[in-house]
Amino acid sequence: MNIMLMLMKRAGFSLLLLSFFPILVKGQQAGSKTNPYGEMTTLAQFSGPSTGTYHPSEEERKRIAWFREAKFGMFMHWGLYSIMAGYWKGEKVTGGEWAIKMHKLPIEEYRALAKGFNPTRFDANDWVSLIKAAGMKYMVITAKHHDGFAMFNSKASPYNIMDGTPFKRDPMLELKEACHLQGIKFGLYYSHAQDWNEPDAYGNDWSFGGYKGDMDAYLEKKALPQIKEICEQYQPDILWFDTPGGMTIERAKKVSDLVRSIVPDALINSRIFSSNAPGIWDYMSSGDNDGFPQYHQVPWELCGTLNKSWAYKRWDTAFRPVNELLYHLIDAVSKNGNYLLNVGPTADGQILDPYAIRLRQIGDWLKVNGEAIYGCSGTAFGTEFGDYATVEGKKKFVASPANWRSTTKSGKVYIHVLNWPADGRLVLPPLKGKIKNAFLLSNRNKKITIEQSADGLVCHLPSKAPDALANVICINL
Ligand code: JFZ
């Protein structure tokens, strides 16, 4: 985990959430703290359980339908911090998009980076083609991160890519058009509360003589006008808000109402506000690289990094192996969630090979196994995730080793085998419904024998795993 995130986690800056999951909140109160970046109710760590309850209105159900089918999207962190690429004046720095705050960089010097932002190698269609090749169905990109620099055409603030850089093109517009052409849903990240360029906004406590801002003034002057701009200019399918420090429910509602008034079909993620507020958001964001331990009825999304950084850092070469990335996708889908996998493009507009190669490998896996992901519901079992145990006198949810995961579709149960059993015998819990037949998605002609009894299932698999990545058994009921 990168140091910034470690610091944030230590500061209790885990995700929001869930006053509406009474069990979960009760079990979590010990971990709740106020973090230095806001007044969020924070939950130190998600440690299950919850199936929660989810009673969407007809309108909400319609709005979220594509997202529940889609399962897999690309996250992109791209901005002035990409020029730094993990360095400041030749010195290696931590933090990526957070480096400016973590190292209290002089704001004027950071702003000056804009003059050198000229991503001449940026090609929206290439990026979106890669998204497609990865088998992803949507993207979310930073229209404005905490640094306050707008990566879109903005009249509301001159601190933007059209007015402030030699590039003078609007990459958000180009990406939106490429997404429409190629059938990819287009989402925008907007840091609505935290803006280190603005003395009135949340977050910059080092440049303007200490924080004594006026949150409402910032919202009226910059955030709301810019959110209006991005909704009008790009009709995003998702508005991905983040770090709601300083957001009261009234402020969050203002943001949400504005979005709904311009793009009523757009989805809003839960980081718009620090806890549940009916109608304000559509789906939950879990902690970074850290999904939920159990199945959740409420639509949710795990966002994760491909290496250890959100924004591009030249020195971060700790790319995760493909099977780890795939595990996150499969695990999220088996728990009724989505996976938003992040890529950090370079300042000149490239998605480098270490990212692209892995993405294409996932895409190749999905070409064979996609029917066990897209449009699927979560597990047919539920006991595989773990169970409660008493740890140091406290009842806790303890995760089981993830040897397999299950996803479902009408008349079908998929078993994603993550750890191939050495003796070829995979033992599973009991399954409702009588099994007609079963086969591996990578070899549909060869039937797999499954013994079914009230005690459970015993699958007789080939002694060697056919695919080095997850192998999926399709069971027809
Ligand atoms: C936030 C941002 O601050 C960060 O720069 C990045 O954009 C990331 C996707 O989101 O960071 C967070 C927010 C919440 C958690 C972790 C990192 N969390 O709840 O664990």
> What is the C-alpha to C-alpha distance for residues 275 and 190, in angstroms, rounded to an integer?
18
What b-and-e string marks burial along 139-167, b requiring 16 or more CB atoms within 10 Å of the CB? bbbbbbbbbbbbbbbbebbebbbbebbeb
Q: Does residue 15 have its Cβ closer than 6 Å to ligand 1?
A: yes
Mean predicted confidence (pLDDT) in 350-354: 98
Where is 216: in which H helix or E strand?
helix 215-218
One-letter amino acid of 119: P
Looking at the CA of residue 194, tell me the nearest atom of ligand 1: 3
pLDDT value, residue 119: 98
If 0-12 CB within 10 Å is exposed, 13-18 middle and 19+ buried, where does residue 181 land?
A: exposed
For the four alpha carbons of 339, 344, 348 and 350, in that order, the dihedral sign comes to negative
How do residues 16-30 score in pLDDT, each as one tens digit?
333 322 222 222 222
pLDDT of 37 higher than 60: no
Q: How far is the CA of 437 from the centre of ligand 1 (A)?
A: 44
Residue 339 has pLDDT above 90, yes or no: yes
Task: Supply the pTM of this predicted model.
Answer: 0.91
Three-state helix/strand/coil letters over 15-39: CCCCCCCHHHHHHHHHHCCCCCCCC
Whether residue 398 is predicted with pLDDT greater than 50 in this model: the reply is yes
Give the pLDDT confidence of 294-320 residue by residue, as tens digits.
888 889 999 999 999 999 999 999 999
| Ligand 1 atom nearest to 290, measured from its CA | 20
Q: Is the CB of 310 under 6 A from ligand 1?
A: yes
Using CA positions, which residue lies closest to atom 13 of ligand 1?
243
Question: How far is the centre of ligand 1, averaged over its atoms, from the C-alpha of 96 (Å)?
Answer: 12
- Nearest atom in ligand 1 to the alpha carbon of residue 287 is 20
From the alpha carbon of 42, which atom of ligand 1 is closest?
19
Indicate whether 123 pLDDT > 70.
Answer: yes
Question: For residue 52, what pLDDT is reported?
Answer: 56
- Structure confidence at residue 357 as a pLDDT band (50, 70, 90): very high
Atom of ligand 1 nearest to the CA of 303: 9
What's the pLDDT at 211?
72
Judge if the beta carbon of residue 362 lies within 6 A of ligand 1.
no
Q: How far is the CA of 13 from the centre of ligand 1 (A)?
A: 8
The CB of 303 under 6 Å from ligand 1? The reply is yes
